[in-house]
Every structure is written in structure tokens, then in C-alpha cells.
Structure 1
Amino acid sequence: MLKKGNLSDRETTIARILRTLGKDPMTRGQAKQAAILLDVHWTTIYRLRRRFLADPVASSLKPHPPGPRTGSRRIGRHTEVVIDDVLTVWLPAQRQLAHPLTSLVAEVRRRCMEAGVSSPSRDTVARRWSSHKREEALERAKSPKSAIAPGNFIVGKPLDVVQIDHTQADLIVVDDLTRRPLGRPWLSLAIDVATRCVVGFFVGIDRPNAATVALLLTRIVLPKTEWLSKLGVRTDWPMHGMPRMLHLDNAAEFKSRALQLGCAEYGVELMYRPVGKPHFGGHIERLNRTLMERVHDLPGSTGSSPKGRKERRSEQQAALTLGEFEQWLALEVGQRYHYSAHRGLRGDTPAGRWTTLCATSPVNGLSAAPDAALRFLLHFLPAARRTIQRDGLTLFHIRYWHPIFTAWRETDHDVIVRYHPEDLSRIYVKVARHDFIEVRYADLRRPAISLWEQRAAVKHLREQGQRTVSEVMMFRTIEEQRSLVDRAQRATRSVLRRRLPKTRGRPRSELLPAQLDDKRASQATPIDYSQPISAYDVEQW
């Protein structure tokens, strides 16, 4: 290589080859032959020849001067000072920003105008902000308070870091009515890293989604007294509060906009594991294994390995319903796991470590407002943006109505709608910064349906060739599907009753409880509520 300003052998060789091509139009075959000689792509020959024909000297083929180095900054020093001051001082002092980047750009430009310096572009501010966030993340990772390493995650205070994960339980549950196998339920778990306490769990048949995460977060934040009372479980479970950071994998429900907006609302940070490295979530993975080892003792267990599942006959032995499995888990965690010595705590129990750390570092909870729990849940539910029309608001082919829509219609009001996938009979519309109103069906005669039923009905109508789906058609399809399921369940119970041994002539005490229930059901006379109900006869004295 020659000194700067002189030609290199490479440029001389390129010029020599291009000269042999003359000035006539070049064919693709010629370009490919020259590309082989110069070891470049054939399209590059066209660009080089264009430059050479414009100035047929070898120096015209010099490479263009390189652009700015990666990370170099070309804006003025005073502008840099303004941007750094806004990112490090002004931004952390702002609690709630609806559009952070827009607010950042406006503040930077305002300060630049006051200082009399040139204002940066929006893209420049966005790049500086992204770089600033990466630097902050690296500093947190290097902090001794939360040192992250494979298999090592040291946290000093309760609820500083909460790990969440989903797993499919190694168990088959049965239906409440027919006691037929339903399948393996999904278990969503949340563990506090500092104390190893289970701060919440959720059980469901359907695959976890954004609504599942929202319900799990309410279990984490709210006291568990009411939930345990509904389950019929008596145990001491004081672990609850607002987490400071959620440590998650890269599942879609953990990347949802609903979760990001809700966490931003309540100041909860999100940290994601590196892709393909499950050991970075070792605490929650170990908890899953611990609970599944206990599940293997239950009837209907499938085991942790697919090998030998046919021999285990899990479906024939399944006995627990989904509700009973949830009760068992609450007892297993609240009475056994929390009060067992934990090797990661050097022999201390999770409940004991919680009590010790909370004495010096109390956890934060929700406000005492009566609607605080509902408001918290709504911030994490899936959201959609809609415009108020003349006939109300339409979501999932369903029309909703509220009297306030009349005033909003005059201004073409756009609203944010929150919905629960398990119950579409009501939605929640945001009217102010922190307030929601409950909105019902426009036709209150419609039954409550789930989002899965709605999607199944729409899919069925599409398969039948319906290009447009109306609300009437969708609800009619859902009612037909429900009737089909109801008839199938009644037929199944009828077959089961016919298979039971005859009870005539046998003492009542010899009947099984299930047989007694079937006998009472067969003797019961249904009430026709469409007819006037006569008064009961009263015994005369």
C-alpha cells in the first residue's frame, strides 16, 4: 500500500481492466468476467465503470473517504451539553410522560433556543436516549446490589426482583360435571428472588396471554386473604406488594404493550433474559421443578418425561378438577414450601426470610382507595384504540354503548378500550388520566362470551363463506355451539346413569354419593319461570 495521496496497485489494476472494455455499452457477461478478475460482485463493475468513464484516470477510482466513525458525534459541544442535561437531570424527575420521546425533543429544543445554539433533529435525540438507556442498563448489571451471572442473582430486598414464568403442569385435570379428562393445565408462577417466596400463581387451561399476566400481577400486589377465602383454603400467606422489577423471558405476553404501559404507570421495571439461556432464570426454573416433583404424587400425573406415559395411564387415573388442583397448590405453597428449609437461603425458610427482610425494608403496596385493585388490573389488561361512532363503539364485531358517547361523538373522540378476554360483556373506556368507565353491550340481552368463543364463531362463519360478519350472526353461532356442547354433556351424563347398577330394593345407606345425586336430579321437577308461580301450601293448625 502506497502513502496517502498516491495510487494503490488495486486502483491501477481496476483502471487497466476497465480500459480494455472501451467506451461501448458493456454487457452483463463482460461485467461478470471483470468481476471474477477483481473479486467483486458484477454490479460493482457498473458503478466503477460509470465513475471511470466520467474521468478516465486511475485516481478517479479511489475509495470515497470514510464517513464518521461509529459513536462519533457531529453536533456542537453546547448542544451535547443540553442533551446530556435533559437525559440525566430533567428526564428522571418526570413521573408520567404520555409520549416520552416527543417530550424529550420539545425540552431539548426549548433549551437550545434559550441558549442560542442549533437544535438537534428528532432522530438524534432518539439515538442519544437509546444510548443513555443502554448505559444505565449496563450500570445496573454491574451494580453489586443485583449482580447477574449465570446461576447467580443476588438481591438484597424483598420484591426488588420478581421472576415470572409459565409451565404446563405434569398433571391431567378433569371436568367439574362429567369428570372426564380436560388436559394439562398451565401454571404461571412468580417468585421473589430475595426471599424465595411464591408471591403469586395462576392456573388455567388456556395458554397464558396478556390477561393471564394481568391476573397474576394482581395476585402479586394485592393481599391474598380474599382469594384464599374463595378457594376455601386456610393458611397464612402475607407475601404481597408492588415489585420494583420483573425478570421475564421473551414470551409474547411479556412483550405486550399492555404490560409495558402498566409497568410504566406503576414504576415497575422490566428485565428480559438473554434468548436461549434459561439458566438466567434459575430461581423460577428450580421452583417449577420442585412443585412438579410434588405433582408427580397426584393421581393423573403424566411424569416429567414423555417416555412411559402410555403405561402410566394418566387419563384413566385423573381425579382432580382445575379448582381442586388450585386448592392443592395453595396448600402446598402456603403451608409446606414457605415453611421448609431452603438450600439457597442457607437453611432458612422463605417465610422466615420474608419476615426478617421486611422488618428492615418494608414493601410498598397499592393505595387504600376502594377502586385501587380494579384500576391496577385495568392498566395491565389488553388495550385497543377505537373511535366513537354514531351508534356507539364497536369491538370484536360487538357494539357497546354508554350515554357519555353522545357528547364524545360530536368531537370525533378517540378512546383507549381495555377488555378482559374471558368476559367481553363489559369493557372499560379511559376518560381521564387515571379514570375508567364501565361500558356494557348496546343490546343487554346478549350473553357474556369470551374472546375465544368470539374468534371460534368468526372462524366458523368465514369457513362457511361469509365475507362480512355481523353481531347477530356471531351471537347466533355462539348460542348454537353452546347448545351443542350442552346436549353432548347431557347425553354423556345420561349414558353414565344408565351404566350405574340398579338401586331398586337396596337400602338408601348403600347408595354411593354420586348415585344419590343422580337420583335426586332425576326426581327433581324443573320450574317453568314463564308461568306464574303459585303460593306454597301452608299447614293449618
Structure 2
Amino acid sequence: MAKPENDAEREAAIARVLRPLGTGPLPLEQAKQAAKLLNLHWATVYRLRRRFLSNPVTSAVKARERGPKRGKRQLGGRTEAIVDDVLNVWLPKQRQLAHPLSDLTLEIRRRCAESGARPPSRSTVARWWATHRETQALERVNADQPPGNFVVRNPLNVVQVDHTQADLLVVDDLLRRPLGRPWLSLAVDVATRCVVGFYLGMDRPGAATVALLLTRVVLPKAEWLEKLGVQAEWPMHGMPRVLHLDNAAEFKSRALLAGCAEYGIELMYRPVGRPHFGGHIERLNRTLMERVHGLPGSTGSSPKGRKARPPEKQAALTLREFEQWLALEIAQHYHHSAHRGLLGATPASTWTSRTAAAPAPTLPESPDAALRFLVRFLPIARRTIQSDGLTLFYVRYWHPIFSAWREDRRLVTIRYHPEDLSRIFVSSTGKEFIEVRYADLRRPPISLWEQRAAVKALRDEGQRTISEVMVFRTIEQQRRLIADAKSMARKAKRHSTPAREHSAHGIFEQGASPSAASASTQQPDPVDYSKPATAYDVEQW
């Protein structure tokens, strides 16, 4: 082969020889033939081929520049450590320097003299400082990217998850007194802007919240909507490939990390202090809260003006009623409204069209696939098997296999469902779990929040020692109070309805005013005694 005249021709010639060699193992004979064509040593052919296979473009075989690289330091290790400390630690603390280069040089030389290191020249410091400023400028550019450049094509490729405290006060089921502002956890699909799941609760979000939210993302929502008492179409579900999260502690829990590793879900964390990296879900939070501001008990987005509209007096929705409202608002209104980020299309139509082209991944079809997925993300606790079984949250559990495990008081891993403590999942190896029920099967299913409320009520009564019997008795009393209150409210409403209907239909439909109606009830029509008396059927004694 003729000798190339310049570097570009040389690179093109090398690429022409390397491309037909394929990607498999290269025999030595072929390498020697290629080396003869290129006037190179056969070992150089292998080295160039490795670079070419990692990036199969002509520029990948570009000749390396000879000599020291720009910005590379050639002084001793102590001098380089001093320079790094001055540039990265000392310099940012200086508010204002009259002559930055001179001051840098003097500080570096002073430290070098103290440590006995070789001091650099002024020109060397100038080069290092210029390289340092360029690096900082590039970091600022990369960190300050404007929102809206996060483009995802296929559904569930990236799902953003975040929590927010709702701008609404909810009331309790019993006395309709304000409970506080609930926490809303949302999961939004970046490609279609669809809400693929949400979770509402009074407690601050934790590992249990994330687990329950993920199950709603992955599993079909028909059963959950039926349990909630909401009739709506919500087909968005499936296995996310990437979860885009902030740096909250609940997003780094053992349960979440282990569950995502098991199902191949990648975790992507936003840079600290950069909320615009989660712009899609931040905007959705604002959209939903703007709708919430029209509900009774709304606190508004700002504390200004709350005295003029006290939310404590206007609060009317319970937590369940607010959850029903959110489900309807998302499934019937948000999903079918034009979205600016989708160029005017709706999230629901975008989901339908894109899942037709690239179906969203789902759980494998097996009878226990949903349960296995749920267990992998549930919160984790560790206990030791005792002679009477296993105790968690003052509740005792038993399984026949405990008879073998209790001999060595084995330490086991427990996963529990916060919404249903009637069963837990126990493993001695951390891999395969068995389902374990109450030791006393007569106990009703309870939630972790009911258990905590019962324990708090017992503590408030001065109880120092709490037992399982006391917890279930307190929960039963609280449930009975709520049921009785609801029954009385229904009876009162039923008895008051006929009177209101009679008043409305009997008087106001005749065109009389309310004052006239009250006057007619106070002053009955006079009796005409000249007319014969009317005979009525009476019972004979």
C-alpha cells in the first residue's frame, strides 16, 4: 500500500483495512497481513483494532499526540497536592483578590517552602489556573441545563417519582375534625406524561410508601379502583425500566434497592439541589395542587390570606374521599386533557399510540407474580424466633416451621404490608419467603396505622405495658365508634329529608316566600262553623 500523504489519509487507510476483519477473534496470520498492508507491526494492529471496535469510526484510530498533554503536571506529588488544595479549597474562600495570579503563585510558593516541595514557576501556575477555570465553567454549563430537554420515546422507559404535601386539610371519619395535610406520592411516565400510580397517606413518606406506590405502578388498577369505590378507566401500568428519584432516604432503603436489583429496574438519582431535573413531576404536582385549591379545606399555595379563609373551618373531606377525588381527577380529567409537552395531544391518547408501537413491559404471567413482586418491595424488619413464635408490632405470629427454627433462636428477615398486618412474609435466608398468619386466627386484619393509633391511645391513658389483647381491643372500640357515628349520621339524614322535601314542595312551589310560609304555619285558616262537619272513618272500641 502506498504511504499516506497526511494523517487523514492514514486514518482512512487503517479503517478500510480493519472494517473487513469483523468483530470476532483475529488470527495472528490475518493481523500480520494487515500489518504488512499498513506498514505497521502486527501488535500495533491489535491495539488499533481494540480502539476501532470500541468506537467503529475512522477518527478512533487517530494517532496519539506525542509529548505531555495539556494541563498535565510534571512536578512531584507533594507539589501537585499543594496546588490542588490551593485551587479547590483556599481559592474559593477568598472573597476578593487584587492580583489573583500573583496571589495564587505566592500562596503556592509559601506552602511549598514550608513542606520542602519544589515550587512551580509563575507561567506553570498560570496554565494550571486557566485549566481549572475552564473545568469549572464546563461543570456550571452541564449543571445548569434548562428543563425540558429530557426526551423519552417509549412508555415506562423512565418513571419519575416524588412526594408532596397536599394543600388541603382532611378530617377524621368519626367527628369530622381536621387531621392535617396528607402526603401525596406520585409516579409519572416521562414519555407519555401519564400518572402510572399514586399513594395518599397521613404519615411522612417512607420505605413502605414507596413499596405500595410501586405495586400500583406495576399491577393493573382495576382491583384497587373497585376497592376504592371509583368507576374509571385507568389502563396505565407496567414494569418501569428506570426510576428517576431525588435523594430522599426512602429512595435509598434496603427494600427498594434489593427489589429493583431483583427485577432489573435501574435507579437514577437527580443532582442534589437541582429540582428542575425532575421538572415533569414537579409540574404535575403544581397542576394537581391548583385543582385542589378549589376544594373545601384548601390551605392555598401560600400562607398569605389564610386568616381570611381559615381551612380548619371549611375542611370537609376525609382521607378516603380525597383519594377518590384524586383518582377521578387524574383518570377522567388529567389523562384526557391536552398537554403542552405532548404538542396538544392527551396523555391517554399518547399512551395508547406508543404502547401499540412499543408495548410496556409487565410482570410475567404466573399466579403468584403479583404477590412475589409486592413482597420484594415491602419494608424489612428482623426478629429472632422465640419459643412462642414471632412478635411484631405487639402482635404474635406462628407457623409450624417455627418449631424447627426456635431451637437455635434463628434470626429471620420479615417483610410486612402496612395496610394488612394479618399476614407477614418470613425468610431465614433472605431469598424465599413463607406466608405467616396471626397466632390467634380469630383476630381481624388491621393496618399499621390503626395499630399505631391504638398504641398512642393506650400510651395517652398511661399504659406502660402494652399487650396484643389491649391493642386489638382498642382498635375494635375505635372501629365501633366510627361505625356508630356513621350509622347515626345516616339516620339523621334519612329522618330530616321528608321534612325538607315537604317544606320545599308544599310551600315554595306555590310561589310563597319563606316569610309567608312561616306565617302560614303560625296562623292557620279560620274554621267555618256554618258548614256541616266532615265524617271520618274511626276505629270502634
Asked if these proteins are the same fold (TM beyond 0.5), I'd say yes
CA distance in 2, matches of 1:242, 1:361: 13
8 Å contact 1:385–1:414 — kept in the other structure? yes
Equivalences for 1:237-256 in 2 at 5 Å? 237-256=234-253
CA distance in 2, matches of 1:448, 1:153: 44
**Corresponding residue of 1:356:** 353
User: Counterpart of 1:224 in structure 2: which amino acid?
Assistant: K
Is residue 301 from structure 1 mapped to residue 295 from structure 2 by the alignment?
Answer: no
8 Å contact 1:340–1:349 — kept in the other structure? yes
Per the TM alignment, residue 511 of structure 1 is displaced from its structure 2 partner at its CA by 9.3
Per the TM alignment, residue 485 of structure 1 is displaced from its structure 2 partner at its CA by 8.9
- Among 175, 180, 201, the alignment partner of 2:177 is 180
**Corresponding residue of 1:336:** 333
CA distance in 1, matches of 2:293, 2:282: 17
RMSD: 4.0
Is residue 167 from structure 1 mapped to residue 164 from structure 2 by the alignment?
Answer: yes
- The 1:328/1:477 distance shift into structure 2, 3 A limit, reads closer
CA distance in 2, matches of 1:333, 1:64: 66
8 Å contact 2:157–2:191 — kept in the other structure? yes
Is residue 399 from structure 1 mapped to residue 396 from structure 2 by the alignment?
Answer: yes
CA distance in 2, matches of 1:470, 1:157: 52
- The 1:390/1:502 distance shift into structure 2, 3 A limit, reads closer
User: Counterpart of 2:467 in structure 1: which amino acid?
Assistant: E
**Corresponding residue of 2:281:** 284
Equivalences for 1:147-158 in 2 at 5 Å? 149-151=145-147, 152-158=149-155
- Among 213, 219, 226, the alignment partner of 2:216 is 219
Per the TM alignment, residue 417 of structure 1 is displaced from its structure 2 partner at its CA by 0.7
Q: Percent same amino acid among aligned pairs?
A: 67
Please say which of residues 412-421 and 363-372 is displaced more in the overlay: 412-421
CA distance in 1, matches of 2:324, 2:482: 29
SS at match of 1:234: coil
Per the TM alignment, residue 207 of structure 1 is displaced from its structure 2 partner at its CA by 2.2
Please say which of residues 185-194 and 420-429 is displaced more in the overlay: 420-429
User: Counterpart of 1:349 in structure 2: which amino acid?
Assistant: T
Please say which of residues 257-266 and 333-342 is displaced more in the overlay: 333-342
User: Counterpart of 1:476 in structure 2: which amino acid?
Assistant: M
Per the TM alignment, residue 196 of structure 1 is displaced from its structure 2 partner at its CA by 0.8
User: Counterpart of 2:372 in structure 1: which amino acid?
Assistant: R
- Among 353, 366, 386, the alignment partner of 2:383 is 386
- The 1:63/1:275 distance shift into structure 2, 3 A limit, reads same
Is residue 193 from structure 1 mapped to residue 226 from structure 2 by the alignment?
Answer: no
Q: C-alpha offsets along residues 502-521 of structure 1, whole Å, 9 cap, x if unaligned?
A: 979x8585499xxxxxxxxx
Please say which of residues 429-438 and 395-404 is displaced more in the overlay: 429-438
**Corresponding residue of 1:471:** 467
Equivalences for 1:415-434 in 2 at 5 Å? 415-430=412-427
SS at match of 1:310: coil
CA distance in 2, matches of 1:492, 1:232: 17
User: Counterpart of 1:342 in structure 2: which amino acid?
Assistant: H
Per the TM alignment, residue 282 of structure 1 is displaced from its structure 2 partner at its CA by 0.7
Q: C-alpha offsets along residues 6-44 of structure 1, whole Å, 9 cap, x if unaligned?
A: xxxxxxxxxxxxxxxxxxxxxxxxxxxxxxxxx9xxxxx
- Among 244, 255, 259, the alignment partner of 1:262 is 259
SS at match of 2:231: coil
User: Counterpart of 2:354 in structure 1: which amino acid?
Assistant: L
**Corresponding residue of 1:529:** none
**Corresponding residue of 1:205:** 202
CA distance in 2, matches of 1:172, 1:351: 30
8 Å contact 1:159–1:242 — kept in the other structure? yes
Please say which of residues 284-293 and 349-358 is displaced more in the overlay: 349-358
Per the TM alignment, residue 445 of structure 1 is displaced from its structure 2 partner at its CA by 4.9
Please say which of residues 302-311 and 424-433 is displaced more in the overlay: 424-433
SS at match of 1:353: helix
8 Å contact 1:178–1:489 — kept in the other structure? no
CA distance in 1, matches of 2:225, 2:482: 34
CA distance in 1, matches of 2:493, 2:450: 34
8 Å contact 2:387–2:406 — kept in the other structure? yes
CA distance in 2, matches of 1:409, 1:477: 26
Per the TM alignment, residue 220 of structure 1 is displaced from its structure 2 partner at its CA by 0.6
**Corresponding residue of 2:61:** none
Q: C-alpha offsets along residues 424-459 of structure 1, whole Å, 9 cap, x if unaligned?
A: 332111367764322123244555554456556767
**Corresponding residue of 1:11:** none
User: Counterpart of 2:427 in structure 1: which amino acid?
Assistant: K
User: Counterpart of 2:470 in structure 1: which amino acid?
Assistant: R
SS at match of 1:311: coil
Q: C-alpha offsets along residues 454-476 of structure 1, whole Å, 9 cap, x if unaligned?
A: 55676788899988x5635xx42
Per the TM alignment, residue 408 of structure 1 is displaced from its structure 2 partner at its CA by 2.7
SS at match of 1:228: helix
Per the TM alignment, residue 484 of structure 1 is displaced from its structure 2 partner at its CA by 7.5
Q: C-alpha offsets along residues 106-155 of structure 1, whole Å, 9 cap, x if unaligned?
A: xxxxxxxxxxxxxxxxxxxxxxxxxxxxxxxxxxxx9xxxx994413122
TM-score by length of 2: 0.59
CA distance in 2, matches of 1:341, 1:256: 37
SS at match of 1:226: helix
- The 1:62/1:448 distance shift into structure 2, 3 A limit, reads same
- The 1:483/1:384 distance shift into structure 2, 3 A limit, reads same
CA distance in 2, matches of 1:258, 1:180: 35
CA distance in 2, matches of 1:434, 1:219: 23
- The 1:176/1:412 distance shift into structure 2, 3 A limit, reads closer
CA distance in 2, matches of 1:228, 1:195: 22
8 Å contact 1:155–1:193 — kept in the other structure? yes
User: Counterpart of 1:223 in structure 2: which amino acid?
Assistant: P
Please say which of residues 206-215 and 438-447 is displaced more in the overlay: 438-447
Per the TM alignment, residue 184 of structure 1 is displaced from its structure 2 partner at its CA by 2.1
CA distance in 1, matches of 2:323, 2:451: 27
Please say which of residues 481-490 and 401-410 is displaced more in the overlay: 481-490
CA distance in 1, matches of 2:394, 2:226: 37
- The 1:308/1:486 distance shift into structure 2, 3 A limit, reads farther
Return 5+ residue gaps in structure 2 as ranges. 1-74, 77-106, 108-113, 119-138, 505-541
8 Å contact 1:397–1:470 — kept in the other structure? yes
CA distance in 2, matches of 1:418, 1:277: 34
8 Å contact 1:186–1:208 — kept in the other structure? yes
8 Å contact 2:455–2:466 — kept in the other structure? no
8 Å contact 1:503–1:511 — kept in the other structure? no
- The 1:323/1:394 distance shift into structure 2, 3 A limit, reads closer
Per the TM alignment, residue 171 of structure 1 is displaced from its structure 2 partner at its CA by 1.8
